[in-house]
A = this chain, B = another copy of it.
Amino acid sequence: MALSFYELNRRLAEFAQKRDWEQFHTPKNLSCAVAIEAAELMEAFQWLSDEDAMAAMGDEEMRAAVIDELVDVLIYSLSLANALGISVSAAVLEKLRRNAHRFPVEAWRGRARSADRGETGAD
């Protein structure tokens, strides 16, 4: 099913509203929540090498844990978008357009950091 951001955000808003949780969903609190879940996502790979982390994604339990944390990051991120009243997909597309100019294919192919290390790409 190809659910739109719009519809997903509507369901998240309804979930919070039913529990009277909008009072906790301040921009600052939601930004903290995103960061906390992002750290739990990282924790799934803690002490693993890049190769072992990749291999671990073939382990069903590890994979489910990663997806679970990733979903939490998304839920709080989309809740913040709701709290700010912005259209996520429009904002993401606009950024992709800007990034296309900032990181021209020719100059950045195969490179994740600029030569002087002042800028990172790979996003």
Contacts and interface: CB of A to CB of B under 8 A. Distances in A.
A117 B3 contact: no
Main secondary structure of the interface of A (DSSP, over half): helix
Contact of A45 (B15, B27, B90): B27
A122 B25 contact: yes
Interface in A73-91: 73-81, 84, 86-91
A90 B3 CA distance: 8
Interface of A: 1-8, 11-12, 15-16, 18-21, 23-29, 31-36, 38-50, 53-54, 57, 61-63, 66-68, 70-81, 84, 86-96, 99-100, 103, 105, 108-110, 112-113, 117, 120-123
17 contacts: A2-B5, A2-B6, A8-B89, A21-B112, A27-B45, A27-B53, A31-B41, A31-B42, A32-B42, A41-B80, A66-B84, A71-B92, A71-B95, A72-B123, A75-B96, A77-B77, A78-B92
